[in-house]
Structure 1
Amino acid sequence: MTRATNLTVKNGTLKLLDIVFLVFCLCPFILPNPVVTTNIQPYAALFGTLLIGWEILTQSDRPLKGKMYFFIAAWGTLLVSLLVLLLGSEITVSSFRAVFNYYSVAIVPFAFYLILNRIGTLPETFVKILIAVWFAVSAVQFFIDRRFLTEIIGGVNNSMSYRGVVGLASEPSFLGIACFYFLHMVIRFKKHQMLFFTMTLIMGVVFAQSMMGILFIAVFLLVYLMDSTNTKKGVLIWCVVILAVIAFVILFNTVLEKTRLHHLITLLMQEGVDGLLNDVSAGNRYDSLANAIADSLDNNLMPLGYEKRIGSGYGGFLCELGFFALPILCCISLALSKTFEKTFSQIVYFVLVTILLFNNTQIGNPLLLSVIAINLYHASRLSVQSVDAHASSDLSMTAEQTKRKMKKV
């Protein structure tokens, strides 16, 4: 029975509950719930709650490694969101969704972190399987049938033939952003890293054909290339990116010629940012971002509650919770910056990813929260290794000093 419900990884075992939770973390748009119409489904947070409860009951003696700053900020933000709901907002479907978003930010990365802490490694094979499933579904939609498996996706928007496909996301832009998050995971792979890196780029650029997705991916690649300079794999990475750019230019002028992506990029090159903002979709995204920031500043960064829905990730948090949201927003950007090794790369990425997450993206997206958990765990392991190295060095020095004293005697 154990063999049927467990998946063995390098240093530990994924249990059935772990597997279900991870599936909904990496495929957060599937199986629309019958209660509330929404893009991202609540299953990752719900199964994460069960997983945390199970860990508390069965693994309470297992110490958590690393700094807990993110989790303290996340749980504090959840508490503030509940107070705003009770003191200043009506309990409606919109307010419930907003608070559940904060609940996801607190629950999902903590549950994911507990799994990593227990098994001692990223479940690389399992993540590869799920990325391969995303790629296969996207490829079938791109080459054969645009509506393939879209019936299992919540809030799907795939009606326009000149747009990209959705994969297992609800719209092309979310597929592109999902690939942006996948790239953070892929660079942690120990095997077949370049294969999955290339697959993810094809899926996020060629299949999704989303200007927003390409912007996110371009920012990641910029900092990744900067961080990889002067490393052994740096030359290979640059070669792959150059080949990818050449391939994209060829596809852009052939296969993608009559697509929305071609239209937007051409508009940007011919008329600049002003011309791009005149596009209805791009203009709406910009307006949502600008209005969210303006509303928050006009209210002196005081909480506005959940009366209206805001199409901005960080902007939504600022409008709803005011300055109380600042700690968790800083912690999210800081955790994402830990994707890279060099301090300068981390600083640049902190700034750029903060700007990106003000766009129309969901902060409660389990893919984003999974990346945060992986980065926090990776940073904790580096910290532990550093402490062990210092301790070993101190022991060596002490032993050497003892030998010298013995010789003198």
Structure 2
Amino acid sequence: MNLLINVFLLSVFFPYITVIKSLDTQPTALFLGTVLFLIYFKAEKKQNRYIFYILILSILSIFLFEKSNIMMSIRGILNYWSLGIISYVSYELFKRNKIKNSIIKRSINAWFILGFIQTFYSKYFFKFLIVGMRTSDDRGVTSFATEPTFYGIICIFFGILVIENFKKNDCILFFSNLLIQILFFSKSSMVVLFLLIWISLYILKNISLKAILFSSTSLVSFHFIIINFLKDTRVYKLYIKSSDLKKLFFEDHSLNMRLSHIFYSLKGALQNFLLPNGLTQWIEYVRIETLQKTYFHTLTPTTSARIMSGFGGIIYESGLIGIIFIGIIFFCLKKGLKNKEIAIFIIIISFSAIQPSFPLNGFILGMSIFNLEKRRIHKNEKIKSNDCCRN
């Protein structure tokens, strides 16, 4: 049993190690999680209501199945099921005290070591293990991911785990480790933007001299690092162009593409009055929309086989039910995480290309629901204790 749990955790922390060549995020965590789910679900007499809601809404995605495109329907349904299954199993593992900080530390160090080797020796070192690995001269390395952006996103989610679970000294050490990986190894412009969003949310929540000094120091440091250490990279090019946002929006195809998927997924949901559009209608919707000239010149049916927006995709495909789904996720994150701005941050970045099937999504959600339940039990025990003292 312990072996199965450890392999499951490795598949969550290293989701791109190739099992099926045609996929970036591998289904290993879902398959192993399903086995653990069947074991734990049968053993539990009473289910946590929040994890139960997540499971039910994930399972309801089966009603989006369409015979017209069976493979796309199955892939879409598994996208939802992954979030439900992985969050449930992660919740059960936290509940049974099966997750130690040591495995998170070792995983972060492993990502660091391979990122370091790829940065200073060969960008494609270990390519045999990650078949879909891709980068370019002006981008960073990928470590155990398929591209630099995914590497940076992994580091962001590890950063959340570090802040939520580690004591002060370990938190400073490992968060610094992850910042080095983001800024000097992955060099992902999108993830640098994510960091700036995180800092902004921190300022808004903690308006104080300390927060302003911390944020100012961070921004000056980012500027110094980008100007002096990241020349000839995509981060540097976008940073220089950012003074003219309109020009940046038109000239940077990747940015234009990502924003177009967020915009049109939400627009398509509203045009359909928040009724479900289903799992196979996106390409046809894009074909109709691109008949008109728009600011989103990169959006075409041939380049948009799948919605490149996690929560945008949920809302487009599921409509109002998708909004309820996201609402429950936000509630669990907000009540379960120690740092409330992180809950808002996760929701914001989940409108990017981070899919619900991304294993660390489910892992952090499961952890949040466990923390939520633990605090509820502690609160009830405190109330009972006070009642006994009064009597």
Answer whether TM exceeds 0.5 for this pair.
Answer: yes
| Equivalent in the alignment of 1:319 | 316
| Equivalent in the alignment of 1:3 | none
SS at match of 2:123: coil
| Equivalent in the alignment of 1:392 | 385
SS at match of 1:369: helix
SS at match of 2:20: coil
Alpha-carbon distance between aligned partners in 2 of 1:163 and 1:92, rounded to the nearest angstrom: 36
- Report the residue type matching 1:77 in the other structure: L
What is the CA deviation profile of residues 155-187 of structure 1, one whole-angstrom value per residue up to 9, with x for unaligned ones?
A: 3222x1110111222211112221211111001
1:80 alignment partner, one of 43, 60, 65? 60
Contact 2:8 2:29 in 1 (8 A): yes
Find out whether 1:337 has 2:323 as its counterpart: no
Give the drift of 1:239: 7.7
| Equivalent in the alignment of 1:11 | none
From the superposition, tell whether residues 380 and 224 of structure 1 become closer, same or farther in structure 2 (CA, over 3 Å): farther
Find out whether 1:165 has 2:141 as its counterpart: yes
Find out whether 1:292 has 2:240 as its counterpart: no
Contact 1:332 1:372 in 2 (8 A): yes
Find out whether 1:303 has 2:279 as its counterpart: no
Give the drift of 1:92: 2.5
| Equivalent in the alignment of 2:101 | 124
| Equivalent in the alignment of 1:68 | 49
2:233 alignment partner, one of 259, 280, 285? 259
Q: TM-score by structure 1 length? A: 0.81
From the superposition, tell whether residues 195 and 331 of structure 1 become closer, same or farther in structure 2 (CA, over 3 Å): same
| Equivalent in the alignment of 1:45 | 30
Give the drift of 1:284: 0.9
- Report the residue type matching 1:208 in the other structure: S
Identity of aligned residues (%): 24
Contact 2:84 2:362 in 1 (8 A): no
Contact 1:33 1:154 in 2 (8 A): no
- Report the residue type matching 1:327 in the other structure: I
SS at match of 1:152: coil
Work out which of the two has the higher radius of gyration on C-alpha atoms and give 1 or 2. 1
1:142 alignment partner, one of 116, 119, 135? 119
| Equivalent in the alignment of 2:155 | 179
Contact 1:225 1:238 in 2 (8 A): yes
Note the aligned Cα RMSD (angstroms).
Answer: 2.6
Give the drift of 1:340: 4.6
Give the drift of 1:75: 2.3
In structure 2, stretches of 5+ residues that fail to align are 283-305
- Report the residue type matching 1:276 in the other structure: F
Alpha-carbon distance between aligned partners in 1 of 2:68 and 2:386, rounded to the nearest angstrom: 59
Give the drift of 1:56: 4.3
Alpha-carbon distance between aligned partners in 1 of 2:331 and 2:188, rounded to the nearest angstrom: 26
In structure 1, stretches of 5+ residues that fail to align are 1-13, 399-409
Contact 2:335 2:372 in 1 (8 A): yes
Q: TM-score by structure 2 length? A: 0.85
| Equivalent in the alignment of 2:248 | 275
Alpha-carbon distance between aligned partners in 2 of 1:112 and 1:305, rounded to the nearest angstrom: 28
SS at match of 1:151: coil
From the superposition, tell whether residues 201 and 152 of structure 1 become closer, same or farther in structure 2 (CA, over 3 Å): same
What is the CA deviation profile of residues 220-273 of structure 1, one whole-angstrom value per residue up to 9, with x for unaligned ones?
A: 34444666778xxx96x98876665554333322221111110011111x2125
What is the CA deviation profile of residues 132-174 of structure 1, one whole-angstrom value per residue up to 9, with x for unaligned ones?
A: 111111111122211122332253222x111011122221111
Alpha-carbon distance between aligned partners in 2 of 1:16 and 1:313, rounded to the nearest angstrom: 31
94-103 vs 242-251, which moves further: 242-251
Give the drift of 1:330: 1.3
SS at match of 2:52: helix
Alpha-carbon distance between aligned partners in 1 of 2:336 and 2:207, rounded to the nearest angstrom: 15
Find out whether 1:358 has 2:358 as its counterpart: no
Alpha-carbon distance between aligned partners in 1 of 2:112 and 2:49, rounded to the nearest angstrom: 34
What is the CA deviation profile of residues 320-373 of structure 1, one whole-angstrom value per residue up to 9, with x for unaligned ones?
A: 1221212211122233334654xxx73x65555433322222121001111111
The size of the alignment, in residue pairs, is 365
Alpha-carbon distance between aligned partners in 2 of 1:277 and 1:244, rounded to the nearest angstrom: 29
Q: How does 1:216-227 map to 2 (within 5 A)?
A: 216-224=194-202
| Equivalent in the alignment of 2:79 | 101
Alpha-carbon distance between aligned partners in 2 of 1:150 and 1:333, rounded to the nearest angstrom: 36
Give the drift of 1:277: 4.2
